Structure 1
Amino acid sequence: MVFERDRAASRPLSDQVEELLTHEGPLQIVAAGDPVLRRPAEPFEGQLDPALLARFVAALRATMHAAPGVGLAAPQVGIPLRLAVIEDPAPVPEEIRVARARVPQPFRVLVNPSYEAVGAERAAFYEGCLSVPGWQAVVARAARVRLRALDEHGIAVDEEFTGWPARIVQHETDHLDGMLYLDRAELRSLSSNQSIADRWNAPTPHRAADALGFALPD
Protein backbone atom coordinates (compact mmCIF):
# COMPACT_ATOMS: atom_id res chain seq x y z
CA MET A 1 0.00 0.00 0.00
CA VAL A 2 1.30 3.48 -0.88
CA PHE A 3 0.32 6.08 1.70
CA GLU A 4 -0.84 9.55 0.76
CA ARG A 5 2.21 11.24 2.29
CA ASP A 6 4.56 8.90 0.40
CA ARG A 7 2.93 9.89 -2.88
CA ALA A 8 3.13 13.57 -1.94
CA ALA A 9 6.83 13.25 -1.10
CA SER A 10 7.64 12.59 -4.76
CA ARG A 11 6.34 16.04 -5.73
CA PRO A 12 8.50 19.17 -5.72
CA LEU A 13 8.84 20.71 -2.28
CA SER A 14 7.42 23.98 -3.55
CA ASP A 15 4.21 22.18 -4.57
CA GLN A 16 4.01 20.45 -1.19
CA VAL A 17 4.39 23.75 0.64
CA GLU A 18 1.86 25.51 -1.57
CA GLU A 19 -0.67 22.78 -0.81
CA LEU A 20 -0.01 23.05 2.94
CA LEU A 21 -0.61 26.77 2.83
CA THR A 22 -4.01 26.41 1.20
CA HIS A 23 -5.39 25.31 4.57
CA GLU A 24 -6.48 27.97 7.04
CA GLY A 25 -5.16 28.12 10.57
CA PRO A 26 -2.16 26.35 12.13
CA LEU A 27 -0.49 23.59 10.17
CA GLN A 28 -0.94 19.99 11.28
CA ILE A 29 2.03 18.73 13.31
CA VAL A 30 3.01 15.17 12.42
CA ALA A 31 3.59 12.72 15.27
CA ALA A 32 6.31 10.19 15.96
CA GLY A 33 5.92 7.22 13.65
CA ASP A 34 5.77 9.33 10.50
CA PRO A 35 8.85 8.53 8.36
CA VAL A 36 9.40 12.23 7.57
CA LEU A 37 10.64 12.65 11.15
CA ARG A 38 13.24 9.92 10.68
CA ARG A 39 14.90 11.01 7.46
CA PRO A 40 17.60 13.69 7.16
CA ALA A 41 15.99 16.78 5.69
CA GLU A 42 16.99 18.11 2.29
CA PRO A 43 19.33 21.14 2.43
CA PHE A 44 17.65 24.37 1.45
CA GLU A 45 19.01 25.42 -1.94
CA GLY A 46 16.31 27.76 -3.17
CA GLN A 47 13.56 25.17 -3.59
CA LEU A 48 11.11 27.81 -2.35
CA ASP A 49 11.15 31.26 -3.95
CA PRO A 50 11.49 34.19 -1.51
CA ALA A 51 7.76 34.89 -1.38
CA LEU A 52 6.84 31.25 -0.75
CA LEU A 53 9.61 30.91 1.81
CA ALA A 54 8.29 33.95 3.67
CA ARG A 55 4.77 32.53 3.69
CA PHE A 56 6.03 29.16 4.92
CA VAL A 57 8.09 30.75 7.68
CA ALA A 58 5.05 32.77 8.79
CA ALA A 59 2.97 29.58 8.89
CA LEU A 60 5.63 27.76 10.91
CA ARG A 61 5.74 30.63 13.38
CA ALA A 62 1.96 30.74 13.73
CA THR A 63 1.83 26.97 14.22
CA MET A 64 4.59 27.11 16.84
CA HIS A 65 2.68 29.81 18.75
CA ALA A 66 -0.61 27.93 18.54
CA ALA A 67 0.84 24.62 19.77
CA PRO A 68 2.40 26.28 21.86
CA GLY A 69 6.11 25.58 21.58
CA VAL A 70 9.48 27.28 21.43
CA GLY A 71 10.64 25.74 18.17
CA LEU A 72 9.34 23.96 15.11
CA ALA A 73 11.19 22.23 12.29
CA ALA A 74 9.85 21.86 8.75
CA PRO A 75 9.73 18.03 8.94
CA GLN A 76 7.29 18.38 11.85
CA VAL A 77 4.71 19.69 9.39
CA GLY A 78 5.64 17.07 6.81
CA ILE A 79 8.13 19.08 4.74
CA PRO A 80 11.59 17.43 4.58
CA LEU A 81 13.50 20.68 4.26
CA ARG A 82 16.41 21.82 6.43
CA LEU A 83 14.59 24.74 7.99
CA ALA A 84 13.40 25.51 11.52
CA VAL A 85 12.05 28.41 13.55
CA ILE A 86 12.67 29.17 17.22
CA GLU A 87 11.28 31.74 19.65
CA ASP A 88 11.00 31.69 23.42
CA PRO A 89 9.42 34.46 25.50
CA ALA A 90 10.49 32.41 28.57
CA PRO A 91 7.40 33.04 30.71
CA VAL A 92 8.71 31.04 33.66
CA PRO A 93 9.19 31.72 37.39
CA GLU A 94 12.51 33.17 38.49
CA GLU A 95 13.58 29.94 40.19
CA ILE A 96 13.19 27.99 36.96
CA ARG A 97 14.79 30.74 34.88
CA VAL A 98 17.91 30.63 37.04
CA ALA A 99 18.14 26.82 37.31
CA ARG A 100 17.68 26.24 33.60
CA ALA A 101 19.38 29.39 32.30
CA ARG A 102 16.19 30.08 30.37
CA VAL A 103 16.17 33.57 28.97
CA PRO A 104 13.96 35.07 26.25
CA GLN A 105 14.95 34.39 22.67
CA PRO A 106 13.73 36.50 19.76
CA PHE A 107 12.15 34.90 16.72
CA ARG A 108 14.77 33.33 14.48
CA VAL A 109 14.75 31.34 11.27
CA LEU A 110 17.45 28.68 10.97
CA VAL A 111 18.28 27.58 7.44
CA ASN A 112 20.67 24.63 7.00
CA PRO A 113 21.74 24.77 10.65
CA SER A 114 24.43 22.70 12.30
CA TYR A 115 25.88 22.86 15.79
CA GLU A 116 28.86 21.68 17.77
CA ALA A 117 29.42 21.53 21.50
CA VAL A 118 31.66 24.17 23.04
CA GLY A 119 33.37 22.63 26.05
CA ALA A 120 32.46 19.44 27.88
CA GLU A 121 29.77 20.78 30.25
CA ARG A 122 26.39 19.08 29.97
CA ALA A 123 23.03 19.93 31.50
CA ALA A 124 20.09 17.57 32.00
CA PHE A 125 16.45 18.66 32.16
CA TYR A 126 13.04 17.37 31.24
CA GLU A 127 12.28 18.05 27.60
CA GLY A 128 9.23 17.54 25.42
CA CYS A 129 8.37 17.67 21.74
CA LEU A 130 5.33 18.73 19.76
CA SER A 131 5.69 15.54 17.70
CA VAL A 132 5.63 13.36 20.82
CA PRO A 133 2.59 14.87 22.54
CA GLY A 134 1.81 14.06 26.15
CA TRP A 135 5.26 12.93 27.27
CA GLN A 136 8.54 14.32 28.54
CA ALA A 137 11.91 12.82 29.39
CA VAL A 138 15.24 14.00 30.74
CA VAL A 139 17.85 14.76 28.10
CA ALA A 140 21.47 15.59 28.82
CA ARG A 141 22.72 18.11 26.26
CA ALA A 142 25.71 20.33 25.74
CA ALA A 143 25.41 23.41 27.93
CA ARG A 144 27.00 25.59 25.25
CA VAL A 145 26.93 25.16 21.48
CA ARG A 146 28.17 26.97 18.42
CA LEU A 147 25.47 27.34 15.79
CA ARG A 148 26.22 27.83 12.12
CA ALA A 149 23.31 28.53 9.80
CA LEU A 150 21.78 31.00 7.40
CA ASP A 151 18.80 33.18 8.20
CA GLU A 152 15.78 33.51 5.92
CA HIS A 153 17.60 36.21 3.91
CA GLY A 154 20.66 34.03 3.28
CA ILE A 155 22.82 35.90 5.80
CA ALA A 156 25.33 33.70 7.62
CA VAL A 157 24.81 33.05 11.33
CA ASP A 158 27.74 31.96 13.50
CA GLU A 159 26.79 32.32 17.15
CA GLU A 160 27.20 30.64 20.52
CA PHE A 161 24.18 29.73 22.65
CA THR A 162 24.14 28.69 26.28
CA GLY A 163 21.58 27.30 28.71
CA TRP A 164 18.02 26.74 27.51
CA PRO A 165 18.54 28.53 24.17
CA ALA A 166 21.35 26.03 23.45
CA ARG A 167 18.89 23.21 24.20
CA ILE A 168 16.35 24.62 21.76
CA VAL A 169 18.97 24.93 19.02
CA GLN A 170 20.06 21.33 19.54
CA HIS A 171 16.51 19.97 19.67
CA GLU A 172 15.38 21.68 16.47
CA THR A 173 18.57 20.93 14.54
CA ASP A 174 18.31 17.28 15.57
CA HIS A 175 14.88 17.17 13.92
CA LEU A 176 16.56 18.05 10.64
CA ASP A 177 18.91 15.08 11.05
CA GLY A 178 16.02 12.66 11.56
CA MET A 179 16.42 12.51 15.34
CA LEU A 180 13.83 12.85 18.09
CA TYR A 181 14.71 13.92 21.60
CA LEU A 182 13.85 10.41 22.77
CA ASP A 183 16.93 9.14 20.94
CA ARG A 184 19.05 11.08 23.42
CA ALA A 185 16.79 10.74 26.48
CA GLU A 186 17.20 8.84 29.73
CA LEU A 187 14.23 6.54 29.16
CA ARG A 188 13.77 5.71 32.84
CA SER A 189 12.77 9.36 33.23
CA LEU A 190 9.96 9.14 30.68
CA SER A 191 6.89 10.70 32.26
CA SER A 192 3.45 11.77 31.15
CA ASN A 193 2.68 15.45 31.25
CA GLN A 194 0.32 14.72 34.12
CA SER A 195 3.12 13.06 36.09
CA ILE A 196 5.34 16.05 35.42
CA ALA A 197 2.66 18.38 36.76
CA ASP A 198 1.92 16.19 39.79
CA ARG A 199 5.40 15.00 40.74
CA TRP A 200 8.35 16.39 38.81
CA ASN A 201 7.49 20.02 38.14
CA ALA A 202 10.66 21.25 39.82
CA PRO A 203 13.41 23.49 38.43
CA THR A 204 15.77 20.49 38.12
CA PRO A 205 15.17 16.74 37.66
CA HIS A 206 17.14 15.64 40.74
CA ARG A 207 14.12 14.34 42.68
CA ALA A 208 12.91 12.46 39.63
CA ALA A 209 16.37 10.91 39.17
CA ASP A 210 16.36 9.64 42.75
CA ALA A 211 12.82 8.28 42.57
CA LEU A 212 12.93 6.77 39.09
CA GLY A 213 16.51 5.50 39.24
CA PHE A 214 18.48 7.28 36.55
CA ALA A 215 21.76 9.14 36.60
CA LEU A 216 22.42 12.80 35.91
CA PRO A 217 25.68 14.19 34.51
CA ASP A 218 28.15 15.52 37.09
Structure 2
Amino acid sequence: MRPTGDRVIDVVLPCLDEALALPWVLKRMPPGYRPIVVDNGSADGSADVAAAYGATVVREPVRGFGAACHAGLMAAVADVVCFMDADASLDPRELPLVSGPVVAGEADLVLGRRVPAGAGAWPAHARLGNAVLARRLRRRSGVPVRDLGPMRACRREELVGLGVEDRRFGYPLETVLRAAAAGWRVTERDVRYHPRAGRSKVTGTVRGTLRAVADMRAVLAAHR
Protein backbone atom coordinates (compact mmCIF):
# COMPACT_ATOMS: atom_id res chain seq x y z
CA MET A 1 0.00 0.00 0.00
CA ARG A 2 1.27 3.48 -0.90
CA PRO A 3 0.26 6.79 0.65
CA THR A 4 -2.52 8.42 -1.32
CA GLY A 5 -3.62 12.00 -1.80
CA ASP A 6 -1.92 14.38 0.60
CA ARG A 7 -0.83 11.65 3.03
CA VAL A 8 2.84 11.72 3.94
CA ILE A 9 4.71 9.16 6.03
CA ASP A 10 7.82 10.21 7.93
CA VAL A 11 10.75 7.78 7.91
CA VAL A 12 13.25 8.06 10.77
CA LEU A 13 16.76 6.89 9.87
CA PRO A 14 19.19 6.78 12.82
CA CYS A 15 22.62 7.45 11.36
CA LEU A 16 26.22 7.12 12.51
CA ASP A 17 28.84 7.34 9.76
CA GLU A 18 26.68 6.14 6.88
CA ALA A 19 27.85 8.54 4.15
CA LEU A 20 28.52 5.66 1.74
CA ALA A 21 25.10 4.07 2.18
CA LEU A 22 22.86 7.14 2.34
CA PRO A 23 22.73 7.94 -1.41
CA TRP A 24 21.43 4.43 -2.21
CA VAL A 25 18.92 4.58 0.64
CA LEU A 26 17.59 8.05 -0.04
CA LYS A 27 17.31 7.62 -3.81
CA ARG A 28 15.06 4.58 -3.23
CA MET A 29 12.65 6.33 -0.86
CA PRO A 30 9.13 5.83 -2.28
CA PRO A 31 6.92 8.79 -3.19
CA GLY A 32 5.08 10.08 -0.15
CA TYR A 33 7.75 8.91 2.30
CA ARG A 34 9.76 11.75 3.85
CA PRO A 35 13.21 10.79 5.20
CA ILE A 36 14.41 12.22 8.52
CA VAL A 37 18.09 11.39 8.99
CA VAL A 38 19.15 11.65 12.62
CA ASP A 39 22.89 12.24 12.71
CA ASN A 40 24.21 10.71 15.94
CA GLY A 41 27.70 12.18 15.85
CA SER A 42 28.98 11.11 12.44
CA ALA A 43 32.54 12.01 11.48
CA ASP A 44 32.24 11.17 7.77
CA GLY A 45 29.95 13.96 6.57
CA SER A 46 26.76 11.88 6.73
CA ALA A 47 24.65 14.91 7.59
CA ASP A 48 25.86 16.81 4.52
CA VAL A 49 25.18 13.82 2.27
CA ALA A 50 21.68 13.43 3.70
CA ALA A 51 20.91 17.12 3.15
CA ALA A 52 22.25 16.96 -0.41
CA TYR A 53 19.78 14.17 -1.18
CA GLY A 54 16.83 16.12 0.22
CA ALA A 55 16.45 14.55 3.64
CA THR A 56 15.50 16.47 6.75
CA VAL A 57 18.56 16.33 9.02
CA VAL A 58 18.29 16.23 12.80
CA ARG A 59 21.41 16.26 14.96
CA GLU A 60 21.32 14.24 18.17
CA PRO A 61 24.56 14.65 20.18
CA VAL A 62 23.63 12.04 22.79
CA ARG A 63 24.97 8.75 21.47
CA GLY A 64 22.62 5.78 21.36
CA PHE A 65 20.27 4.07 18.94
CA GLY A 66 17.26 4.89 21.11
CA ALA A 67 18.36 8.49 21.49
CA ALA A 68 18.49 8.85 17.71
CA CYS A 69 15.11 7.15 17.24
CA HIS A 70 13.51 9.39 19.85
CA ALA A 71 14.97 12.54 18.31
CA GLY A 72 13.60 11.52 14.93
CA LEU A 73 10.20 10.76 16.42
CA MET A 74 10.11 14.21 18.03
CA ALA A 75 10.98 15.80 14.67
CA ALA A 76 8.32 13.85 12.77
CA VAL A 77 4.97 15.48 12.06
CA ALA A 78 3.17 12.87 9.95
CA ASP A 79 0.39 10.75 11.40
CA VAL A 80 2.25 7.54 10.51
CA VAL A 81 5.96 7.14 11.15
CA CYS A 82 8.39 4.44 10.02
CA PHE A 83 11.83 3.54 11.30
CA MET A 84 14.62 1.83 9.40
CA ASP A 85 18.41 1.57 9.38
CA ALA A 86 20.41 3.90 7.13
CA ASP A 87 23.08 1.34 6.20
CA ALA A 88 21.48 -0.04 2.98
CA SER A 89 20.65 -3.36 4.63
CA LEU A 90 16.95 -2.62 4.11
CA ASP A 91 15.35 -1.38 0.91
CA PRO A 92 13.14 1.70 1.39
CA ARG A 93 10.97 0.47 -1.49
CA GLU A 94 9.63 -2.14 0.93
CA LEU A 95 8.42 0.46 3.44
CA PRO A 96 4.85 0.21 2.11
CA LEU A 97 4.81 -3.43 3.24
CA VAL A 98 5.10 -2.39 6.87
CA SER A 99 3.25 0.92 6.77
CA GLY A 100 0.31 -0.41 4.75
CA PRO A 101 -1.48 -2.27 7.58
CA VAL A 102 -1.11 0.79 9.84
CA VAL A 103 -2.47 3.16 7.20
CA ALA A 104 -5.39 0.78 6.57
CA GLY A 105 -6.19 0.52 10.29
CA GLU A 106 -5.46 -3.21 10.32
CA ALA A 107 -2.56 -3.04 12.80
CA ASP A 108 -1.08 -0.63 15.33
CA LEU A 109 2.56 -1.69 15.06
CA VAL A 110 4.12 -3.59 12.16
CA LEU A 111 7.63 -5.03 12.32
CA GLY A 112 9.64 -5.95 9.27
CA ARG A 113 10.73 -9.57 9.70
CA ARG A 114 14.14 -9.80 8.08
CA VAL A 115 14.67 -12.46 5.42
CA PRO A 116 18.35 -12.65 4.34
CA ALA A 117 18.73 -11.71 0.68
CA GLY A 118 22.39 -12.63 0.27
CA ALA A 119 25.39 -14.29 1.84
CA GLY A 120 26.67 -12.39 4.85
CA ALA A 121 23.52 -10.34 5.25
CA TRP A 122 22.85 -11.61 8.74
CA PRO A 123 25.82 -13.16 10.62
CA ALA A 124 25.07 -16.27 12.66
CA HIS A 125 25.91 -14.66 16.01
CA ALA A 126 23.51 -11.79 15.36
CA ARG A 127 20.73 -14.06 14.15
CA LEU A 128 21.08 -16.28 17.22
CA GLY A 129 20.95 -13.34 19.61
CA ASN A 130 17.86 -11.99 17.88
CA ALA A 131 16.12 -15.38 17.98
CA VAL A 132 16.73 -15.78 21.72
CA LEU A 133 15.37 -12.31 22.48
CA ALA A 134 12.36 -12.78 20.20
CA ARG A 135 11.50 -16.03 21.98
CA ARG A 136 11.69 -14.34 25.37
CA LEU A 137 9.56 -11.49 24.07
CA ARG A 138 6.90 -13.92 22.86
CA ARG A 139 6.79 -15.60 26.26
CA ARG A 140 6.72 -12.32 28.13
CA SER A 141 4.20 -10.40 26.04
CA GLY A 142 2.27 -12.98 24.06
CA VAL A 143 3.05 -11.09 20.86
CA PRO A 144 3.88 -13.62 18.09
CA VAL A 145 6.98 -11.87 16.71
CA ARG A 146 10.00 -13.71 15.35
CA ASP A 147 12.28 -10.74 14.74
CA LEU A 148 13.06 -7.46 16.48
CA GLY A 149 13.74 -5.92 13.11
CA PRO A 150 14.71 -2.26 12.64
CA MET A 151 12.08 -1.58 9.94
CA ARG A 152 8.75 -0.82 11.60
CA ALA A 153 5.71 1.42 11.38
CA CYS A 154 3.09 2.84 13.74
CA ARG A 155 1.18 6.04 14.44
CA ARG A 156 3.31 8.87 15.75
CA GLU A 157 1.10 10.19 18.54
CA GLU A 158 0.40 6.72 19.89
CA LEU A 159 4.12 5.91 19.97
CA VAL A 160 4.89 9.14 21.81
CA GLY A 161 2.17 8.18 24.28
CA LEU A 162 3.85 4.86 25.07
CA GLY A 163 6.64 6.76 26.83
CA VAL A 164 9.52 4.55 25.69
CA GLU A 165 12.49 5.39 27.93
CA ASP A 166 15.47 3.37 26.66
CA ARG A 167 17.98 5.40 24.68
CA ARG A 168 20.31 2.57 23.71
CA PHE A 169 19.77 -0.66 21.78
CA GLY A 170 16.86 -1.63 23.98
CA TYR A 171 14.58 0.93 22.32
CA PRO A 172 13.01 -1.45 19.75
CA LEU A 173 12.32 -4.11 22.36
CA GLU A 174 10.82 -1.70 24.87
CA THR A 175 8.57 -0.34 22.14
CA VAL A 176 7.09 -3.79 21.53
CA LEU A 177 6.76 -4.54 25.26
CA ARG A 178 4.91 -1.29 25.92
CA ALA A 179 2.78 -1.72 22.80
CA ALA A 180 1.74 -5.21 23.91
CA ALA A 181 0.93 -3.97 27.42
CA ALA A 182 -1.23 -1.24 25.88
CA GLY A 183 -3.18 -3.78 23.85
CA TRP A 184 -1.80 -2.79 20.46
CA ARG A 185 -2.29 -5.07 17.48
CA VAL A 186 1.27 -6.09 16.60
CA THR A 187 2.13 -8.02 13.47
CA GLU A 188 5.02 -8.74 11.07
CA ARG A 189 5.67 -8.49 7.36
CA ASP A 190 8.61 -10.11 5.59
CA VAL A 191 11.25 -7.73 4.22
CA ARG A 192 14.53 -8.55 2.50
CA TYR A 193 17.72 -8.07 4.49
CA HIS A 194 20.79 -7.23 2.41
CA PRO A 195 24.50 -7.16 3.22
CA ARG A 196 24.98 -3.66 4.57
CA ALA A 197 27.33 -1.01 3.21
CA GLY A 198 30.45 -0.96 5.36
CA ARG A 199 30.79 -2.65 8.74
CA SER A 200 27.88 -2.76 11.16
CA LYS A 201 28.32 -1.24 14.60
CA VAL A 202 26.16 -4.06 16.00
CA THR A 203 25.83 -7.19 13.89
CA GLY A 204 29.26 -6.79 12.30
CA THR A 205 31.04 -7.87 15.47
CA VAL A 206 30.35 -10.32 18.25
CA ARG A 207 31.11 -7.56 20.74
CA GLY A 208 28.55 -5.25 19.17
CA THR A 209 25.91 -7.96 19.17
CA LEU A 210 26.58 -8.79 22.83
CA ARG A 211 26.26 -5.11 23.74
CA ALA A 212 22.88 -4.88 22.00
CA VAL A 213 21.69 -8.13 23.62
CA ALA A 214 22.75 -6.84 27.05
CA ASP A 215 20.76 -3.64 26.54
CA MET A 216 17.69 -5.63 25.54
CA ARG A 217 18.02 -8.02 28.46
CA ALA A 218 18.10 -5.02 30.77
CA VAL A 219 14.83 -3.83 29.23
CA LEU A 220 13.25 -7.27 29.70
CA ALA A 221 14.33 -7.30 33.33
CA ALA A 222 12.89 -3.83 33.91
CA HIS A 223 9.52 -4.86 32.45
CA ARG A 224 8.86 -8.03 34.41
TM-score range, shorter chain: under 0.3
The TM-score with structure 2 as length reference comes to 0.25
The TM-score with structure 1 as length reference comes to 0.26
Give the structure with the higher percent strand. 1
Find the structure with the greater CA-based Rg.
Answer: 1
Give the structure with the higher percent helix. 2
